Amino acid sequence: MRKMLTAGVIAALLGPSIAVAQGDPLAPTGRWSANMAGRASTPPMGWSTWNAFATDIDEDKILGSARQIVDSGLAAKGYRYINIDDGWALKRRMPDGRMIIRDDKFPSSRVGGDAPSFKPFTEKLHAMGLKAGIYSDLGRNTCSEAHSPTDTDLPKGTVLEREVGLYGRIDQDIALYFKDWGFDFIKVDGCGLRDYAPQSERVRSGKFRALGPFLDSSEVMRTNIAAIQAMFRQINVALTRENPDGDYLLSLCVWGAANVRAWGKDYGAISRTSDDISPAWGRLLVNYDTTVTRPLYAHPGSWNDPDMLHIGAGDFDADHLTEARSHFALWAVLNAPLMIGTDLRKTPQALLDVFGNADIIALNQDPAGNQATLAHDSSDVQILVKTLASGDKAVAIFNRGSGDYDVDLSASHLKFSQDAPIELVDLWSKQVSTFTKRTRLHVKPRETLIFRAHGKHALQGGYYLSEQPGSVNPAVDGVLYPTPDPSIFRTGAGWGGTGGAGDRPSYAGWGGARADSAPYGQLLQIAGQRFTAGIGILANSRLEVRNHGAQRFTTLVGVDDSASDKASDVTFAVYGDGKLLATSKATKWGMPAQSISVPVAGVKLIELVARSPRGDNQRLPVTWGEAALLER
């Protein structure tokens, strides 16, 4: 690193100028823009009704699982949220629009007065030291109303009375749920914006009013992203108003549609990156793949959500402990919310032990908030590495396939020194081993080995930005036209069976910011110079970087060799707390990397801008090679 700094062209400090137009999204703001509202400094943990019971819910089932959370010791390990999913609403009372609870299923809600109340129920959970969560939808109607095979557990009454979603009622409903009923968490689905088109059978039958569609799960360009974002903004305003202590969580559940994998981080505490999970290995791969390449889009306060844990059923039941352990270990290092979805009243001890592995929970709840990054990526085996607040690393070796593998884990995967011993602690067996440079590990089919690693960092006196994705936010990632991500694993049957054309890429986010990778998955490279560490992003982008006391920022910048736009200029700029610190010379594809080194002592927020006035963003990947913050 030091050789690079002295040999390269040191960018001018204080004095360079770049014209910034009013309203320019690349203009530095001096502030962190990803969501910080609510209580999600670490990924939320808890239990939800949906996977175990769907809409067939009642007070006994929920409180029974809540008591098991406490009695089993899981609550003491961080599982706090007890979330009611779809199925609780009887109707919306007209003409005042108040939501009415199915009090036959929740008898404690019968408190007298003019309507049942969830207040006694939430007070019971709070008295147990737990938090309470509730469910709604962005539209007028919910997912169960669109897809349930029977109407047994669905809202009753007239067309208007069965409109139990938030649409047109956001302020009224959020006040009821949080101020009056005392909930702490809300999951907001999106079926009401997708499944009630004028031409749909359910609307033509006269049972529902048409709405939209605003959202199309299969094609992002047929989705009104701005309208969906506006609704979530209104929800956030209402949540802030009704929770002055800030003790709440918003879960965005539009299943990876509407390009939410790019912007969910700015609107809520957790954001679904995929459609619903099911208890099948192929479905785990789908949901996992929607999250694993997106560590720069998750931070303390805003987490990627590949859906709830489905441990306890199908491929993840007690007869499939290898798969159950993989599910848990992967969700932990991805910083996914750890939301149990099984009937805990009937869960065998072997699975309770999986949920309760304190060492793996600690990785998920590590305060640094760094989602694991891919150190090795193939169709069969992946190595994920997560930097912890202590400087240790978590490492997960994931065998996706059906054959055994001998995997070489190297110091370079961990960004540790090649010539110093590395200690590995197996977080399932608790066995300790030591290696130098590399070690070979055997991984069985569908197995995930998971370790805590301690060693000497390769970059002494600092860290690469790609080691700290929780402190790097792609405020503007350069993506102008959301594009389906072709790298997502697709199941053979999908959700519609094999009668149709099969699954097609539908989750947008292709070309977003990547850690240690170019935006489209290639290795980072500028004019033939390869970088094992760095940030890949498209041109006309702005990265926000939190500085935790470093004295100097260094990097090598240029147009990545993967660019197909080989004619456009790019200029790189570094800002500190909104003030310009340094710029590069204009550079094009094929030109050597330029070095930037600037002091950042006392700077709280660094912003990295790559600007190309005439460039085609999505054909112009750029590289912040070896971008690092140093102690001196």
This prediction has a pTM of 0.95
Q: What number is the average pLDDT over the span 294-313?
A: 98
Strands 45-48, 81-83: pairing is parallel
Q: What number is the average pLDDT over the span 507-524?
A: 97
Residue-level pLDDT at 536: 98
Dihedral class, residue 152 (left if φ above 0, else alpha if ψ from -120 to 50, else beta): alpha
pLDDT tens column, 185-224: 999 999 999 999 999 999 999 999 999 999 999 899 899 9
Q: Is residue 12 predicted with pLDDT exceeding 60?
A: no
Q: Is residue 238 predicted with pLDDT exceeding 90?
A: yes
Residue-level pLDDT at 15: 35
In our burial notation (b when 16+ CB lie closer than 10 A, e otherwise), range 42-81 reads bbbbbbbbbbbbebebbbebbbebbbbbeebebbebbbbb
Q: Is residue 631 predicted with pLDDT exceeding 70?
A: yes
Confidence of residue 20 (pLDDT cuts 50, 70, 90): low
Amino acid in position 593: A
Confidence of residue 430 (pLDDT cuts 50, 70, 90): very high
Instruction: Name the residue with tokens 């039958």.
Output: 205
Query: From the candidates 153, 173, 189, 503, which is the catalytic residue?
Result: 189
User: What is the C-alpha to C-alpha distance for residues 408 and 415, in angstroms, rounded to an integer?
Assistant: 15
Q: Is residue 368 predicted with pLDDT exceeding 80?
A: yes
Please state, as a whole number, how many other Cβ atoms lie within 10 Å of the Cβ of residue 538: 29
In the numeric block, which tokens belong to residue 55?
Answer: 């809409």
Q: What number is the average pLDDT over the span 151-169?
A: 97
Give the chain's mean pLDDT.
95
pLDDT tens column, 253-280: 999 999 999 999 999 999 999 999 999 9
- Does the annotation count 189 as an active-site position? yes
Dihedral class, residue 549 (left if φ above 0, else alpha if ψ from -120 to 50, else beta): left
Please state, as a whole number, how many other Cβ atoms lie within 10 Å of the Cβ of residue 603: 22
Q: What number is the average pLDDT over the span 55-64?
A: 97
Contact 385, 391 (CB under 8 A): no
User: What is the C-alpha to C-alpha distance for residues 611 and 592, in angstroms, rounded to an integer?
Assistant: 17
Contact 461, 244 (CB under 8 A): no
For 91, what's the count of Cα atoms within 13 Å in the CB-facing half-sphere? 13
Q: Among 333, 278, 281, which Cα is nearest to 445's?
A: 281
Q: Is residue 21 predicted with pLDDT exceeding 70?
A: no
- Does the annotation count 343 as an active-site position? no
DSSP state of 177: I
Confidence of residue 13 (pLDDT cuts 50, 70, 90): very low
Residue-level pLDDT at 491: 84
Contact 354, 338 (CB under 8 A): no
H or E segment to which residue 594 belongs: strand 594-599
pLDDT tens column, 112-133: 999 999 999 999 999 999 999 9
Residue-level pLDDT at 14: 33
Q: Is residue 474 predicted with pLDDT exceeding 80?
A: yes
User: What is the C-alpha to C-alpha distance for residues 271 and 269, in angstroms, rounded to an integer?
Assistant: 7
pLDDT tens column, 521-543: 999 999 999 999 999 999 999 99
Instruction: Name the residue with tokens 């240690």.
Output: 516
User: What is the C-alpha to C-alpha distance for residues 55 and 14, in angstroms, rounded to an integer?
Assistant: 61
In the numeric block, which tokens belong to residue 523?
Answer: 């290795």
Residue-level pLDDT at 65: 96
DSSP-derived 3-state class of residue 170: helix
Contact 309, 317 (CB under 8 A): no
Q: What number is the average pLDDT over the span 314-322?
A: 98
In our burial notation (b when 16+ CB lie closer than 10 A, e otherwise), range 192-209 reads bbbbbbeeeebbeeeebe
Q: Is residue 69 predicted with pLDDT exceeding 60?
A: yes
pLDDT tens column, 373-419: 999 999 999 999 999 999 999 999 999 999 999 999 999 999 999 99
Confidence of residue 178 (pLDDT cuts 50, 70, 90): very high
Chain length of the chain: 632
Query: From the candidates 276, 377, 380, 577, which is the catalytic residue?
Result: 276
Residue-level pLDDT at 468: 98
Q: Percent of the chain at pLDDT above 70?
A: 96
User: What is the C-alpha to C-alpha distance for residues 418 and 422, in angstroms, rounded to an integer?
Assistant: 9
Confidence of residue 499 (pLDDT cuts 50, 70, 90): confident
Residue-level pLDDT at 207: 95
Q: What is the 3-state secondary structure (H, E, C) of 295-355?
A: HHHCECCEEEECCCCCCCCHHHCCCCHHHHHHHHHHHHHCCCCEEECCCHHHCCHHHHHHH
Q: What number is the average pLDDT over the span 28-56?
A: 97
pLDDT tens column, 35-47: 999 999 999 999 9
pLDDT tens column, 568-579: 999 999 999 999
DSSP-derived 3-state class of residue 249: strand
Confidence of residue 170 (pLDDT cuts 50, 70, 90): very high
Residue-level pLDDT at 409: 98
Residue-level pLDDT at 231: 98
